[in-house]
A and B are shown apart, each in its own frame.
Chain A
Amino acid sequence: MSAIENIAEVEAQDNGLLRFLTCGSVDDGKSTLIGRLLFDTKTILADTLHAIERTSKKRGMEAIDLSLLTDGLQAEREQGITIDVAYRYFTTGTRKYIIADAPGHEQYTRNMVTAASTADLAIILIDARKGVLTQTRRHSYLTHLVNIPHVVVAINKMDLVDYSQDIFDRIRSDYTAFAAGLGIEDVRFIPMSALNGDMIVDRGERLDWYQGPTLIELLEAATTSHVAQEESFRFPVQYVCRPQDSANPELHDYRGFMGRVESGVIAIGDAVTVLPAGRETRVKDIQVMGQSLPSAFAEQSVALLLEDEIDISRGDMIVRTGELPNVTKQIDAMLCWLSELPLDPRRKYLIRHTTRDSKAVLAGIAFRMDINTMAHRAAEKLAMNDIARVSFKLAQPIFADSYANNRGTGAFIVIDESSNNTVGAGMII
């Protein structure tokens, strides 16, 4: 037999990449759900399938255990290698998916925040027999904190509650009530059985009363792109390109400010302001590999050429005139502490925000968040996995938006210079 088997033709249509996160308590069915997605989209790979068939048989099961599909990294975890988040990949032919799977235990807040920071969508699993639990609240709070654009509440194990619409409705209204208190608005609910494959890729036969989309339909349709027209233009400068070719007079005055458009859109001729200098000028050209573009939008990496000669270096920011961010040396933020060494109020840290690094000291902890009860508690220092509202004083100004408005210019990390480790994740208020 050839090693290559054909199952599905992959089409050329491309809806881009969707990153999503799965959260649930132990045994809610997270592994089964992911396995089901891979299996029913026929993206599970034949060798992986053989491996889990073997393992299922070895364990005396007659059907294959789909949760084994996600157990690949278990061994490393047991060996104590730090893999904070396991990533899994699949593709449907129209879209590529990256699933971030953060372990569900309480002490893994930092793993979930890490996984959530790049996710477009979160699936929060609820066991239909148990309803909304403390863990559900915790996961929902964290997805909200990190501002994941789409939230899907998957009410799983519907087969164990006789596919009851009453139970689904009750859990949905419980969830909606507490989510509203947190300010979470746009949530979708899907009843499902990961075990039987109902409402994941196929609709199944027992959930006729549910008219909404299946999970895969929601994933396929979820938007990921920046809404460029509504966002402010933000261009943190990564690198200043000054060709050294002094023999070529044309290049003598060339200054290309290179970076990635963090948000918004800019066109040749637009008025821009350079921070921190505050100087105003216009965009003379937008270039990619020597080619000129009329405009550039979020996520594109380009070189901007400006009409006036302005002294600009890495860490500066080019924005649209009239749409200035906060230029500030004092930030208030929600901070998730990631390090085993507690946050020390007497120490200097380094804050990295877009392409800019600045020394910083803690100016105060307003409160620590008890993410089980949502209560605010007083705190002197922060331990690993703590989430708190804090303020920092910076040695240099940063150009910030609130994280709720702009993930790219609202997020920062805290670095401990004595170890160079990333020790904190911050979201500016």
Chain B
Amino acid sequence: MGSENQRPELWDLYNARSFKGENIRVFPISNWTEFDVWQYIERENLELPSIYFAHQRQIVRRQGGMLPVTDVTPARPGDIIENVRVRFRTVGDISCTAPVESDADTVAKIIAETATTTITERGATRLDDQTSEASMEQRKKEGYF
């Protein structure tokens, strides 16, 4: 079914009936904040790729954010390459995923940092997002998840 057919969700009576060949998309933790996610990671003692923890990395600064210098996102002429201690709050396509400056190299430190953060995860790290408040919805529509 198209995303136009979002079914009303009443009480906790979920209607997940579908016909053969239909897909249903469910966002079971769409109301979790970044803070919730990290608390869950801590409680369940989940293993994570090291990219989520603070590490040294070459970056350039653009549009008020940072962009990692990689093979697919090389520095442009005039860019100043810096070596900064960063971590990634989301990991997606490297061409649009930006790290944040951070010393948090453990889950506990990330939780402490997250609890006092006032910039949304998407705002700080997704460079293409700033133009449109609607673009997360757009992504859902395009099947980004």
Contact = CB atoms under 8 A, between A and B. Distances in A.
A98 B31 contact: yes
Contacts of B113: 4
B11 A117 contact: yes
B101 interface: yes
Interface stretch (B42-50, B72-80, B115-123): B115-123
A250 B55 CA distance: 50
Interface in A395-429: 407-408, 411-413, 415, 417, 420-422, 425
A422 B7 contact: yes
Interface string A90-130: 01000000100000000000110110011000000000000
B15 A84 contact: no
B119 A5 contact: yes
Interface stretch (A44-52, A153-161, A321-329): A44-52
A141 interface: no
Contact of A80 (B4, B9, B10, B119): B4
Given A3-B101, A4-B100, A110 B119 contact: no
Contacts of A352: 13, 15
Given A10-B116, A89-B31, A411 B11 contact: yes
B5 A82 contact: yes
B33 interface: yes
Interface centre among B3, B9, B10 (most CB of A within 10 A): B10
A359 to B, nearest CB: 14
A89 B33 CA distance: 8
30 contacts: A2-B100, A3-B66, A3-B101, A3-B124, A4-B100, A4-B102, A4-B113, A4-B118, A6-B117, A6-B118, A9-B115, A9-B116, A45-B119, A46-B123, A72-B133, A72-B134, A75-B137, A82-B6, A84-B6, A84-B8, A87-B31, A89-B31, A91-B33, A111-B8, A117-B11, A118-B12, A408-B12, A420-B17, A422-B7, A422-B8
B23 interface: no
B10 A73 contact: no
A89 to B, nearest CB: 6
A114 B9 contact: yes
Contacts of B3: 81
Interface string A32-71: 0000000000100111100100000000000000000001
B35 interface: yes
From B11, B12, B17, B124, name the one whose CB has the most chain A CB atoms within 10 angstroms: B11
Interface string B76-108: 000000000000000000000000111000000
Given A2-B101, A118-B11, A420-B15, A82 B120 contact: no
Given A3-B101, A75-B133, A82-B5, A413 B10 contact: yes
Give the interface size class of chain B: 35 or more
Contacts of B10: 113-114, 117-118, 411, 413, 422, 425
Interface string B1-30: 001111111111101011100000000000
Contacts of B122: 47
Contacts of B134: 72-73, 75-76
A4 B124 contact: yes
B130 interface: yes
A418 to B, nearest CB: 10
Given A72-B134, A352-B13, A415-B17, 17 more contacts: A7-B118, A9-B116, A10-B35, A10-B116, A46-B118, A47-B120, A51-B130, A87-B31, A89-B31, A91-B35, A117-B11, A353-B13, A407-B11, A413-B13, A413-B15, A415-B15, A420-B19
Given A73-B134, A89-B31, A48 B7 contact: no
B11 A82 contact: no
Given A47-B123, A82-B5, A5 B118 contact: yes
Instruction: Give 5 nearest A-B pairs by CB, closest first.
Output: A47-B123, A10-B115, A75-B134, A420-B17, A72-B133
B6 A420 contact: no
Nearest to B129: A47
A81 B116 contact: no
Contacts of A6: 116-118
A23 interface: no
A68 to B, nearest CB: 9
B137 A73 contact: yes
B109 interface: no
Contact of B65 (A3, A5, A51, A338): A3
Contacts of A7: 116, 118
A180 interface: no
